Amino acid sequence: MKNILVIYYSQTGQLKQIIESVLSEIKESVVIDYREIIPQNPFPFPWTSDVFFDAMPESVQQISEPIEPLDIPNKNYDLVILGYQPWFLSPSIPINSFLQSEQAQCLKNKNILTIIGARNMWLNAQEKIKYSLINLNAKLVGNIVLCDNNPNLISVLTVMRWTFKGQKEKSTFLPDAGVQSIDITNASRFGNPILKSIESNQFQNLQTNLLKLNAVDLKPDLVILEKRGIKNFRKFSNFILKKGERGNPQRLPRVKLFKRLLIIGVFILSPISNLTARFQAILNNKTIFQKVEYFKNISYHENEI
């Protein structure tokens, strides 16, 4: 039988559910080993607001933290699935910590399929992951992205209720938080093309086959919004890091300033920002269309975002 290794981090279990659904229809036909990334200093859930916003600089600047040993079996894996989530438009601290650790050497010369479970902004994170995989001599062969497909502001509100109160279930005025459960269930459709590639050891058409099944749904205005967002996060992360590492009380005033500005940005400026992004997408239709195609695919060019 063919072998799949799944390396993932999931704080609430959502991403684990997504991966299990993707593999549900092929799990009898392959051997699957799951390995969970566990940070030595686990992140709280639900989060307090200070700890949450204090994780921005280390996420954006990809500063790693210690993780537990993964105990990866010494097998010749046909495919490695890397399941991760974006934090502050960047790879989450746990996944980044794994990729920078000695243990990530197990990815060398392996075919990698990334599976992302996000709110809706994952482009910069995936660019960083692509770059890390190239440096590890690993080959990205596919990418599946599941997002919350509610309107942007609704998903911000529900993700805040989930993150700070732990409530994923719908409330009086808001829907469930996170990726819609029907989308998680339907992710089982990706199993077949994955199995075909593994059995034939032909991965060059995997992403095309996954895209035919709508593995990545990307709205053009999100490309513009994310580009604006990550630019500001990069500047602010450096500003906060000048006052110390994550958890250092000295940087708390800067973290709180970031939090206030982000809230103003999201709730007050965002309707204007959304509108200008939509206009920009219409005006630069051809360029944006090319960008969308690029981000749906798995090749890597520097500075795309």
Ligand X SMILES: Cc1cc2nc3c(=O)[nH]c(=O)nc-3n(C[C@H](O)[C@H](O)[C@H](O)COP(=O)(O)O)c2cc1C
Q: How far is CA 164 from CA 19, 53, 267, in A?
A: 25, 11, 17
DSSP 130-192: HHHHHHTT-EEEEEEEEE--S-HHHHHHHHHHHHHH---S--SSS---SS-HHHHHHGGGGHH
Residue 118 binds ligand X, judged by CB under 6 A: yes
Strands 86-87 and 90-91 come out as: antiparallel
The answer to whether 121 contacts ligand X (rule: CB under 6 A) is yes
Q: Which residue has the tokens 């829907």?
A: 175
86 binds ligand X (CB under 6 A): yes
- Nearest one of 27, 12, 46, 44 to 179, comparing CA atoms: 12
Q: CB-wise, 132 or 163, nearer to ligand X?
A: 163
CB of 258 to ligand X, least distance (A): 13
Q: How far is the CB of 159 from ligand X (least distance, A)?
A: 6
Shortest distance in whole angstroms from residue 11 CB to ligand X: 4
Please, what is the minimum distance in Å from the beta carbon of residue 38 to ligand X? 12
Applying the rule CB under 6 A, the residues between 245 and 274 that interact with ligand X are: none
Interface positions, 9-68, toward ligand X (CB under 6 A):
10-12, 14-15, 52, 55
The 130-169 contact track toward ligand X, x by CB under 6 A, reads: -----------------------------x---x------
Distance CA 266, CA 228 (A): 12
Half-sphere exposure of 10 (CA within 13 A, CB side): 22
CA distance 155 to 190: 25
Q: First-to-last CA distance in the chain?
A: 40
Position 120 contacts ligand X (CB under 6 A) = yes
> Should residue 184 be labelled a site residue for ligand X when binding is judged by CB under 6 A?
no
In angstroms, give the least distance from the CB of 121 to ligand X: 4
Q: Nearest 5°: CA angle at 204, between 198 and 210?
A: 75
What distance in Å separates the CA atoms of residue 145 and residue 168, rounded to the nearest whole number?
Answer: 20
DSSP 104: G
* Backbone phi, psi, residue 45, to 5°: -145, 125
Tell me how many residues contact ligand X (CB under 6 A). Answer: 20
Cβ closer to ligand X: 10 or 111? 10
- Pick 52 or 77: Cβ nearer ligand X: 52
Q: How far is the CB of 177 from ligand X (least distance, A)?
A: 9
Collect all residues with Cβ–Cβ distance below 8 Å to 293 and sequence separation of at least 6.
Answer: none
**Should residue 233 be labelled a site residue for ligand X when binding is judged by CB under 6 A?**
no
Provide the minimum distance between the beta carbon of 12 and ligand X in the complex, in angstroms, as a whole number. Answer: 3
Q: Does 77 bind ligand X (CB under 6 A)?
A: no
Choose, by CB under 6 A, the member of 21, 32, 67, 85 that binds ligand X: 85
Options 39, 91, 117, 220; binder of ligand X; rule CB under 6 A: 117
Residue 126 binds ligand X, judged by CB under 6 A:
no
Q: Which stretch binds ligand X (CB under 6 A): 82-90, 200-208, 210-218, 241-249?
A: 82-90
- 201 φψ region: left (φ > 0), alpha (ψ -120 to 50), beta (else): left
Residues in contact with ligand X by CB under 6 A are: 10-12, 14-15, 52, 55, 85-89, 117-122, 159, 163
